[in-house]
Structure 1
Amino acid sequence: MPEQPSASELADQVLAHPSVARLHGGAFGEIASYFPGHRVTGVRMPEDGPVEIGVVLRLDRPLQETVAELRGALSEQLGETPVDIYVSDVETAEDPQETG
């Protein structure tokens, strides 16, 4: 059985998708993986149950298409492990850029 990817590897794969603006930890920061000295926000990998991914998406295409692409790509890495993707927010081209 192939080795499961790490939370950081999954985060990098999700962030590489052009419609993903950023990862999101959910309303209370519950979608995260914790490690000594750091955490990976937006990816939760419980020992049993689905991997959870929290994202903010760009509205450059239908959300369902983006979510299906993400789920398919992650499923290739995770095999039989189910993947739940939570869209926490969306951005449009008209959204003002946040400044400091």
Structure 2
Amino acid sequence: MTPFPTHTAEEAQVPEQHTAQELADAVLAHPSVARLHGGAFGEIASYFPGHRITGVRMSEDGPVEIGVVLRLDRPLTETVDDLRGALAERLGGTRVDIHVSDVDAGDDAPEAG
């Protein structure tokens, strides 16, 4: 038995990368989510060799953070509660913080006049 792991740093990140991508895909599948958002300074992101996943930040000892732009098709609090519950269930009860960075009014927005 060797006292050191035999995998590379890149291999060690693969499970987290898949989880971050799976979370991003689950969030984007919600009909009230217009897109993921990285926050004011792009701080909500997960970084991997060669790419990053914007809108999902995972840490080993803290909550998972999700940044979104939501559609105005239903109350925002309902959408946030749906997302938080679904993601926490996937993560075995890990705390999930949802940051609504903007809203997308789409074609239903009243015209300025």
Q: Does 1:54 align with 2:54?
A: no
Identity of aligned residues (%): 78
Of 91, 98, 105, 1:78 maps to 91
Give the whole-Å Cα distance in 2 for the aligned partners of 1:12 and 1:28: 22
Larger-Rg structure: 2
- Could you tell me which residue of structure 2 aligns to residue 23 of structure 1? 36
Q: Deviations over 1:20-77 (max 9, x none)?
A: 0000000000000000000000000011110000000000000000000000110111
Of 67, 71, 74, 2:80 maps to 67
State the 4+ residue runs in structure 1 displaced beyond 4 angstroms.
none
Give the whole-Å Cα distance in 2 for the aligned partners of 1:84 and 1:95: 28
Of 11, 14, 21, 2:27 maps to 14
Q: Indicate the structure whose relative CO is greater, using CA pairs within 8 Å and at least 6 residues apart.
A: 1
CA RMSD of aligned residues (A): 1.8
Give the whole-Å Cα distance in 2 for the aligned partners of 1:43 and 1:95: 28
Q: TM-score, normalised by structure 2?
A: 0.78
Higher helix content, 1 or 2: 2
SS at match of 1:85: strand
SS at match of 1:60: coil
SS at match of 1:6: helix
